[in-house]
Amino acid sequence: MRVVVQRVREARVEVDGQTVGAIGQGLVAFVGAGREDTERDAVYVADKVAGLRVFEDDAGKMSKAMADVGGSLLAVSQFTVFGDVRRGRRPDFTGAMEPVRAEQLFERFVARARELGVPVQTGRFRAMMRVVVDNDGPVTILIDSSRAF
């Protein structure tokens, strides 16, 4: 799985003009499942996101995780993180998992984050979403489980 994580002051996701998920300080995770991903990948990336130490301590060093700052997670499914532009300029998404299985892994990612005590809001799977992000820093991190095992 690939997850693009952004540290935010606040963020929200809207579907058809209605807010379906919103957080204050925390992380936004744009989550994509690859064709070969399994539950193991979902758990791995959720563990990484939940424990990611990207919030500043009193000395200005990034040493705190979401739990340390009372942060929340906004998880947004996004197959486009698997866009491949090595050939040409139009992204190829054949590396992304088919939607039924991808939704199951996205839900496993969310469930694992909640198991770890992270307050989680989500977008809506397979919906056209507007994501409003007040990026803090900016801090943006890529987590890719294919490099972990």
Active-site residues, by number, are 78-80
Kindly report the three-state secondary structure assignment for every residue of the chain.
Answer: CEEEEEEEEEEEEEECCEEEEEECCEEEEEEECECCCCHHHHHHHHHHHHHCCCEECCCCCEEECHHHHCCEEEEEECHHHHCECCCCCCCECCCECCHHHHHHHHHHHHHHHHHCCCCEEECCCCCCCEEEEEEEEEEEEEEEHHHCC
Amino acid at 115: E
Tokens representing 94?
A: 């054949």
The residue type found at 63 is S
